[in-house]
Amino acid sequence: MAQAYVTETDNGGTGQDRRGSWFRRLYHTLRGDRGVWRRGKVPAALAVLLALVMLVHAQIPNTIGNLGSLTETFLPWLGVVLVPLLLVLALVRRSATALIAVLLPVAVWLNLFGGLFGDKTGSGGDLTVATHNVNADNPDPSGTARDVAGSGADVLALEELKASAVPVYERALAPTYKYHSVQGTVGLWSKYPLSGVRAVDIKLGWTRAMRATVTTPEGQIAVYVAHMPSVRVKLEAGFTARQRDTSADALGEAIADEKLERAILLGDLNGTMNDRALNAVTSQMRSTQGAAGSGFGFSWPASFPMARIDQIMVRDVEPVSSWTLPRTGSDHLPVAARVKVDAPAS
């Protein structure tokens, strides 16, 4: 009797058959192509170098063009941009060595930033705060004021206030906020009484920082508003941030001298929490985004956010949630947070 033989192709097989076939082809490719381990040395070396840069970023010196601070400002993007590029190179070269090496920067990146992707947003809280660099050239200050007031913030900080636009913001925010103070180019609006209002000297020669006591139903809080000097990336000078760094040190000293235990800092610091140049501030306060947010919370530039340089930081106040607000007429996104004021000191 003649026997009939049926040949089952990959297209007609089960999912398990197709997966088995794919693994068999990969196995035979690796076994038959000895060059798969020898090729791709350059992308493999670049992958190892990328992993080292992210792993020891704090050791990169600032003596040449503030290279360390520049690296730390865009540290998350090193993995987001360069790892896929290295992966493509490894696949193009059909290099098992490079593919394995790419796992190193992936592991380092996940160790540094993986925790940000867990949603740490909580419920409750008794005070909502927000901050926004409104941009001196904002074409619609009145609309921007209404947008941020609509966020429900109890305490609102604005930076980069142009003198001619201050009356516009005051009129637009008056229905929502009974109390306010403008010091130089920064201002604070509050639903609760303000006292002890004064400018804070951050070594610029003009006022870009202030301090006030906000008396909430849960007690008094020292609220600081600050706008650090801008930084620039120049080919001939690198990351120029000397003024910003000096101002950050001065702000850190002011916060360290604060008599009230509970304090909140709102403002555009022109730097991320990874930037060592902000250590005078970040060493004594914590970011609401890192403690109670979801994701990176990038705030600048508004058209395509790449860094979180607008910060809400707290001391002896418990963050509950943190988020960015919709785009306004500014080149920054507003950021907001909900905190628990009557939480015990940590």
On whether both 196 and 151 belong to a single domain, the answer is yes
In this structure, is residue 98 part of a structural domain?
yes
Cis status, amide bond into 305, omega within 30 of 0: no
Q: Total domain count for the chain?
A: 2
pLDDT tens-digit readout, 314-332: 999 999 999 999 999 999 9
- How crowded is residue 171: how many other Cβ atoms within 10 Å of its Cβ? 12
Q: Which of 96, 117, 138 finishes a domain?
A: 117
pLDDT (average), residues 3-10: 46
Q: Which of 94, 117, 140 finishes a domain?
A: 117
CA distance 194 to 185: 18
In this structure, is residue 5 part of a structural domain?
no
On whether both 168 and 316 belong to a single domain, the answer is yes
pLDDT (average), residues 143-171: 97
Can you give the CATH number for the domain in which 150 is found? Answer: 3.60.10.10
Q: What is the residue-averaged pLDDT of the chain?
A: 89
On whether both 100 and 229 belong to a single domain, the answer is no
pTM (global) more than 0.75: yes
Domain span at 139 = 127-340
Q: Which of 117, 146, 167 finishes a domain?
A: 117
Q: What is the DSSP secondary-structure string of 141-171?
A: HHHHHHHHHTTT-SEEEEES--GGGHHHHHH
Judged by average pLDDT, the poorest of 10-14, 51-55, 65-69, 219-223 is: 10-14
In this structure, is residue 43 part of a structural domain?
yes
On whether both 264 and 318 belong to a single domain, the answer is yes
* Residue/partner pairs of 75-80 with CB below 8 Å, 24 or more apart: 75/112, 75/272, 75/274, 76/109, 76/112, 76/113, 76/296, 77/306, 78/50, 78/53, 78/54, 78/105, 78/109, 79/50, 79/54, 79/105, 79/106, 79/108, 79/109, 79/113
